[in-house]
């Protein structure tokens, strides 16, 4: 169905590649309602990448997943980014951000409060982690309000 939305050619080859990338070959004929939470999450991301977009937006892609599922999604994001695509994702898990992201943007009330490479931002604020940077930026906002 989704392939038809994008008028794709070589549908079977594309589907086989996507199922392999997202480790969904074994549930290929399953009803979505019978998939686990991690499988549903991977399917959702797979559908977002089906037509090979240059930019992929993911909102909290690892939220509510077990540790194994989180690792699978992180690896998929890294693989997608290595395929000459940009992956933009939101996360409240700063450890995850450090593991995946090349660039980080901190937003507050729709405005960018800080941006840069994770390690550069950490150094700039003399922090040990991005969580500390988040706390510093949040406290500044409360002082201004």
Count how many Cα atoms sit within 13 Å of the Cα of residue 30 in the half-sphere of its side chain: 14
pLDDT digits (tens, 9 = 90+) for 45-69: 998 888 888 999 999 999 888 898 8
pLDDT mean across residues, the chain: 87
Hunting for tokens 């540790």 — which residue is that?
Answer: 67
* % the chain with pLDDT above 70: 93
pLDDT tens track for 71-90: 989 999 999 999 888 999 99
3-state secondary structure at position 59: strand
Which CATH code fits 1-90?
Answer: 3.40.50.300
Q: What is the pTM of this model?
A: 0.79
Helix axes 11-21, 37-49, angle to 10 degrees: 140
**For residues 110-122, average pLDDT:** 93
Most confident of 60-69, 115-124, 129-138: 115-124
Whether the predicted pLDDT of 145 surpasses 80? no
DSSP string, 120-132: HHHHHTT-SSHHH
Instruction: For the chain, give every domain's residue range.
Output: 1-90, 100-145
């Amino acid at each position: 169905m989704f392939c038809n939305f994008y008028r794709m050619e070589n549908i079977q080859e594309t589907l086989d590649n996507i199922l392999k990338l997202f480790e969904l070959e074994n549930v290929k004929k399953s009803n979505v309602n019978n998939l686990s939470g991690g499988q549903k999450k991977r399917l959702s991301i797979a559908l977002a990448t089906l037509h090979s977009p240059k930019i992929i937006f993911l909102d909290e892609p690892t939220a509510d997943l077990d540790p194994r599922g989180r690792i699978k999604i992180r690896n998929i994001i890294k693989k997608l980014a290595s395929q000459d695509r940009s992956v933009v994702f939101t996360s409240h898990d700063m450890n995850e951000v450090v593991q995946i992201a090349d660039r980080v943007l901190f937003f507050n009330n729709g405005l960018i409060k800080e941006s840069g490479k994770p390690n550069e931002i950490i150094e700039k604020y003399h922090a040990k982690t991005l969580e500390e940077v988040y706390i510093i930026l949040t406290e500044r906002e409360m002082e201004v309000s």
